[in-house]
Structure 1
Amino acid sequence: MTDLLIRNAIVVTSDSAGSVIHDGAVAVEGTRISAVGTAADLAPLAERARRVVDGTGHILMPGIINTHCHAADSLFRGLVEDLPLEPWLQTVWKAEAAILNPRTSHLGSVLGFAELLLSGVTSVMDMFWYPSETVRAARKVGLRVSTGGIFFDPAGVTALSIDERVAEAERFFEEFGSADDVFAAVMPHGTYTVGPENLKAAHAVSHKCGGIFCTHCAETKAEQADIVARYGRTVVRHLDHLGCLDARTVLAHCVHLDDEELDILAARGAHVAHNPMSNLKLASGFARVPEMLERGINVTLGTDGPISGNDLDMWMALRLAATIHKGHTGRAEIISTRQALDMLTINGAKALGAADRIGSLEKGKLADMVMVDLRRPHAVPMFDPLTHLVYSANKSDVRHVFLGGEQVVRDGTLTRLDIGETMDEVNALVPKIRASIA
């Protein structure tokens, strides 16, 4: 029995051939896609489908995948401005230490995830304190999440010993390692906040449990200089020396890498989460994305946190990724439309180790889908759906979102919860948050 049939849409599949089906249709049974084709091909399914959605005037595309985020930092949106990364972080950490606990982290995560889902994000890699609360928030809103044990040598928010952090990371895998909506990970903050032995301990947990290893990497020149001064090696060489680079490694930023470091990432099969908005706003620089792509490195897209970009807009990240490297290199052809869109979809799935389940609209995959409204002046005329998605579409065009076939956004509104109550709770915290850095 077909549970859901979406027909008469322009179907952008993001499959290996980059297939686009005009007047297309997608059928869903249970949580998975059962058929993809033209509306005419799938017309016989309409008679026995439990629900039929008319996609006329819409693009149907895979759910967006955000591979680097700190969603709960939405509590501090706009709090710290006009500083480079290092002094900016010191102020941010001061606010986090004063405000964050399991309840407030959950509250901020719900707010951030709501923003993401309403813009078409169905899976997010989120690095933050209290990862169990992160999962609970994602389930409340209606998206998949990659998160897990945090490693951070300073006291930080949770002030755990290394043994406690290892135990916490392993417990997370025990609880969520087999869940369909969780891509369990281990998340040491970075080489400048986690010492060599503790980085190896974190990687050992991810290797033992078969999870993802995610950390910040070479975001600024100052970070590179710091690690060279401490260990005599740059960040990527340091991580490689420690045995932390492999096909389950996701590195956020990677702005300041030399040729040999790029070659190391390519050889190890590590993935890069490109965060162009954050890198621009914090004046971190321009990641060498064209050279990464030339070497076959899997490049994905992230928003970073809502205090380093002020929103969680993956459409902005997409457009920046497709344009800034053209301007920086002086080569208009340097990033193709297809390459940019793949960063938003299937490449993110590869980084999560889930390309067999998400990232494209293909038979057998989970029915994570987004309907983008084309009945707008900026969508007329439309000669190429991919070009429209990369250069013209925006988050306000997202009309409907499905997670495993369940409609989690209908007509631009969340279906699982009323976000107004969460917004009121966050606004009530504002005086305390402001006072935390006074």
Structure 2
Amino acid sequence: MTVRFHAPIVLPCGSPFRVLRDATVDVDGSGTITYCGPRAAAPGHEGITTVELTGILLPGLINAHAHSPMTVLRGMGGDLPLMRWLREVIFPAEARLTPADVHAGMVLGSLEMLRHGVTTSAEMYYQGEQMADAVLRTGGRMLLAGPIIDLPGIDWRATVKHIDNWIDTDGRFIGPADRIELGYGPHSAYMLPADALRAVADSARERGALVQIHAAETTEEDTEQRASHGSVPRLLDEVGMLDARIVLAHAVHVSAGDIDLLSRSGACVAHCPGSNAKLASGIAPLAELLAANIPVGLGTDGPASNDDLDMMHEVQLAAMLARLATGDSTAIRAERALLLATRDAATALGREDIGVLEPGRWADLVHVHLDDPAFPRGADAPDAQLIANLVWGAGSRRVTDVWVAGEQVVADGESTRVDRAAAQADVSASAARLHG
């Protein structure tokens, strides 16, 4: 059974970047794309169902680094620098989180992202089973990295073993249409000994799993690592972590030598411009990372440090800050900024099944309505103007419909699966207790 999505504009976000006019995307019964191209050239099918759309159809956006259950902690310590914010506010609050708090926070975070057109997020947070259940309920997609940290009362060895056993028992992918991918989340080089980093790298390589790690986020956090090893990337290389499938979150304070090392190793980066700016962590050298052919995706970071989960906002910020940092208004063009949240983010996370509308990938689709002042000429605008209208003007506010693996999970701006009012009430109850 094939469903044909027809739209006046389709943005596959592949290579090369193309704007397709009067185009269709065909999706089979498994939720996989079988065709993306001009309507006139679409193959014939018996019993086909057609969904007529009026705006832009593009791939689901990908959040390459997030801690979405922190919706319950939003606004706490919002004017503190990173390390004080973590040690004085966030770590103590997280110690009081219950499994129900994490579940409620992830449900609402997933709903928020889906309504913004974000179909996939790479998450690092506690209570993995609660996280997975929450996303399976909303219908989103997630790369789940269980956080590994060395603190009093937390045994990093037991955490690594738990993740090993979960992957060995259930497989790396769980849920319909590979909704959840399991991986490892060593918090950072400054929160773990070298032996822990080495053990995580070994476990991840053995299972082909993704490693998500905070790296070189601020100048203060890794002073000891720089003194001992030269830089955080060099330390990660020494312990074998750069040989694994890895994405470094932030990578703000990296030298030319670090960038060369990351490029040669095949490591990837999750760039979080909004969080970096809010916490005054710095501006990551995005243009330099891309020039070195390092795969870069965009992330929001947590909703308590950003404080939203809107990837189109990150698309704008990434391009604007790169232009400011380089003094070049052409450093990151609108279409490349959009690719950082679609195709490039999928590459950074090691996923060839999402991020682009092409045969063989999951049908994670976003419909953006053109009835908005941001689109003064609607679909009749020239290609460059249309992309500029989407990236610089509309953002995510005109996202109306979202599908994951061909299943509609957002219709007319609201979830088809979960009662948003009830989800917000659950988070409100958790937040009241935690803030108190």
TM over 0.5: yes
Is the CA contact 1:67–1:348 (under 8 Å) kept in the aligned structure 2? yes
Structure 2 vs 1, CA of residues 309 and 149 (structure 1 numbering), >3 Å: closer, same or farther? closer
Is the CA contact 1:69–1:126 (under 8 Å) kept in the aligned structure 2? yes
How many residue pairs match? The answer is 425
1:207-266 superposed Cα distances (whole Å, 9 cap, x missing partner): 11110011000000102323224x343111111111111361100000001100000000
Matched with 1:65 is 62
Matched with 2:185 is 187
Structure 2 vs 1, CA of residues 166 and 8 (structure 1 numbering), >3 Å: closer, same or farther? closer
Structure 2 vs 1, CA of residues 25 and 243 (structure 1 numbering), >3 Å: closer, same or farther? same
1:261-301 superposed Cα distances (whole Å, 9 cap, x missing partner): 00000000111000000000000001001001111011110
Matched with 1:340 is 337
Structure 2 vs 1, CA of residues 183 and 336 (structure 1 numbering), >3 Å: closer, same or farther? same
Q: CA deviation at 1:337?
A: 2.2
**For the residues of structure 2 that align with 1:305 and 1:113, how far apart are their CA atoms?**
12
Work out whether 1:5 is the aligned partner of 2:1.
no
Matched with 2:85 is 88
2:164 is paired with a residue whose SS is helix
**For the residues of structure 2 that align with 1:329 and 1:65, how far apart are their CA atoms?**
26
Q: CA deviation at 1:328?
A: 2.0
Work out whether 1:327 is the aligned partner of 2:324.
yes
1:48 is paired with a residue whose SS is coil
> What TM-score do you get using the length of structure 1 for normalisation?
0.94
Matched with 1:165 is 159
Q: CA deviation at 1:415?
A: 0.7
Q: CA deviation at 1:116?
A: 0.6
Amino acid at match of 1:224: D
**For the residues of structure 2 that align with 1:70 and 1:148, how far apart are their CA atoms?**
10
Amino acid at match of 2:241: C
1:35 is paired with a residue whose SS is strand
Q: Structure 2 matches for 1:107-118, cutoff 5 A?
A: 107-118=104-115
Work out whether 1:375 is the aligned partner of 2:376.
no
Q: Structure 2 matches for 1:178-327, cutoff 5 A?
A: 178-179=173-174, 180-229=178-227, 231-246=228-243, 248-327=245-324
Is the CA contact 2:188–2:214 (under 8 Å) kept in the aligned structure 1? yes
Is 324-333 or 110-119 further displaced after alignment? 324-333
Is the CA contact 1:176–1:182 (under 8 Å) kept in the aligned structure 2? no
Structure 2 vs 1, CA of residues 119 and 383 (structure 1 numbering), >3 Å: closer, same or farther? same
Q: Mind listing any 5+ residue stretches in structure 2 that lack a counterpart? A: none
Q: Mind listing any 5+ residue stretches in structure 1 that lack a counterpart? A: none
**For the residues of structure 2 that align with 1:204 and 1:428, how far apart are their CA atoms?**
41
Is the CA contact 1:247–1:269 (under 8 Å) kept in the aligned structure 2? no
**For the residues of structure 1 that align with 2:219 and 2:418, how far apart are their CA atoms?**
43
Is 320-329 or 376-385 further displaced after alignment? 376-385
Q: Structure 2 matches for 1:142-161, cutoff 5 A?
A: 142-155=139-152, 159-161=153-155
Amino acid at match of 2:298: L
Root-mean-square deviation over aligned CA pairs: 1.5
Is the CA contact 2:184–2:212 (under 8 Å) kept in the aligned structure 1? yes
**For the residues of structure 2 that align with 1:328 and 1:233, how far apart are their CA atoms?**
24
Is the CA contact 1:408–1:415 (under 8 Å) kept in the aligned structure 2? yes
**For the residues of structure 2 that align with 1:8 and 1:306, how far apart are their CA atoms?**
33
Is the CA contact 2:204–2:244 (under 8 Å) kept in the aligned structure 1? no
Matched with 2:428 is 427
Work out whether 1:42 is the aligned partner of 2:42.
yes
> What TM-score do you get using the length of structure 2 for normalisation?
0.94
**For the residues of structure 2 that align with 1:55 and 1:337, how far apart are their CA atoms?**
24
1:297 is paired with a residue whose SS is coil
1:430 is paired with a residue whose SS is helix
1:353 is paired with a residue whose SS is coil
Is the CA contact 1:183–1:352 (under 8 Å) kept in the aligned structure 2? no
1:160-198 superposed Cα distances (whole Å, 9 cap, x missing partner): 423311211112213241331122211000011111101
**For the residues of structure 2 that align with 1:104 and 1:76, how far apart are their CA atoms?**
10
Structure 2 vs 1, CA of residues 238 and 43 (structure 1 numbering), >3 Å: closer, same or farther? closer
Choose the corresponding residue for 1:138, options 135, 139, 142: 135
1:324-374 superposed Cα distances (whole Å, 9 cap, x missing partner): 11112211111122321111101111122222x111001121111100111
Is the CA contact 2:125–2:147 (under 8 Å) kept in the aligned structure 1? yes
Identity %: 36
1:278 is paired with a residue whose SS is helix
Q: CA deviation at 1:43?
A: 8.0
